[in-house]
Amino acid sequence: MYKHLIRPILFKLDPEKAHELVSFAIRTTSILPFKEKIFSFCGNFVKEKEFMGLKFKNPLGLASGFDKNAELYNVMQYLGFGFIEIGTVTFMPQPGNERPRLFRFPENMAIVNRMGFNNKGAKKVAENIASNGKPSIPLGINIGKNTDCPLENAAENYADCFRILRQYGDFFIINISCPNIKDLRKLHDINYLEKIISRLKNQDSLKPMLIKIAPDIENSDLVNVVKICLKYQMGLIASNTLPAEKAGYSQKGGLSGRPLNMLAMERLKEIREISKEIPIISSGGIFSEDDLNERLKYGANLAEIYTSIIYEGPLVVKKILKSHRNLSFQGSVKS
């Protein structure tokens, strides 16, 4: 029904307008009683496993960017996800880049976005989580740097954001890899990165944290980032969107979807060559059950999706998790 009825209507709209319409529908659903029952056809995948000290009922999550302001997760959790990420959230609210800033490439099952961390800021997001309540599955909060904050002050900016949100997330993602924030990707440099991580760990050494890296990260940077993760007992999300111009796209921004599949697999294998223990969430180009199972086979502990929801609809979660009703997954790494 999604592909034949709903998608053609949504794809006639400007992509960001379509997302706003879907978000409105989700928010409306959230006030319905028995919403859990309404979504029960999406499936319930319970085979609890531990990862970074948290319990996950299955290995597939909603990636960051879909619910930037913690307004949708309460309904999205019923689609069958094992975890949900919100954000990227910055310390201060910011409008993001000028529109249009979201583009579909259906022939490649791809999206290019240059949203630029549009979000309502840490304080408002904390209020939203406080009033919506925690979901029944682990909630990850993805934090980033305000666009106008110079790299030299990044550690303080991340720390300010974390301080406000710390009590609301089960785990945190430190986003240093969005291609749409000027110079953000330079934070892969070990000197910047260690300052940020030590500031965050000083505030809370127990909260599970993962660094979200770029899919085109240099191998020398990857080795350093893994070192930091092992030193501070953190994990990695591999990986974020790719600067679209690197893949020959006409629009500037971050490329996601099918074209990322191979890159994300390569990063996963590379990380596992460096470290067998480091916790990994694999992100990029997952559309099918086979895609997910391949990630798990090559050592990802968990995986996450965004673009396949746009192309395949909400039931893609159930489709991808088909073989996970009774299967266990590799997720025993603790930090």
Binding site residues, ligand FMN, CB under 6 A = 63-65, 68, 87-88, 102, 111, 113, 115, 142, 175, 178, 212, 240-241, 256-257, 260, 283-286, 305-308
Measured CA to CA, the distance from residue 216 to residue 247 in angstroms comes to: 11
Min separation Cβ 172 and ligand FMN, Å: 12
When the beta carbons of 60 and 126 are compared against ligand FMN, the nearer one is: 60
Cα-flanking dihedrals φ and ψ of residue 94, to 5°?
A: -155, 150
When the beta carbons of 46 and 270 are compared against ligand FMN, the nearer one is: 270
When the beta carbons of 16 and 35 are compared against ligand FMN, the nearer one is: 16
Min separation Cβ 239 and ligand FMN, Å: 7
Min separation Cβ 197 and ligand FMN, Å: 17
Measured CA to CA, the distance from residue 19 to residue 101 in angstroms comes to: 12
Residue number with the smallest Cβ distance to ligand FMN:
65
Measured CA to CA, the distance from residue 54 to residue 25 in angstroms comes to: 31
**Residues β-bridged to residue 305:** 62
When the beta carbons of 35 and 289 are compared against ligand FMN, the nearer one is: 289
Min separation Cβ 32 and ligand FMN, Å: 26
Q: CA torsion sign, 330 to 332 to 333 to 335?
A: positive
With both helix axes pointing from N to C terminus, report the angle between 219-232 and 190-203 in degrees, rounded to the nearest 10: 20
When the beta carbons of 80 and 284 are compared against ligand FMN, the nearer one is: 284
Residue 71 tokens, joined = 């307004």
The 3-state DSSP class for residue 191 equals: helix
Closest by Cα among 84, 164, 150, 85 to 121: 164
When the beta carbons of 172 and 306 are compared against ligand FMN, the nearer one is: 306
Min separation Cβ 297 and ligand FMN, Å: 18
Min separation Cβ 107 and ligand FMN, Å: 16
Q: 78 and 35 in contact (C-beta within 8 Å)?
A: yes
Beta strand residue intervals within 239-312, DSSP E? 242-243, 254-257, 280-283, 302-305
Residue 199 tokens, joined = 């500031």
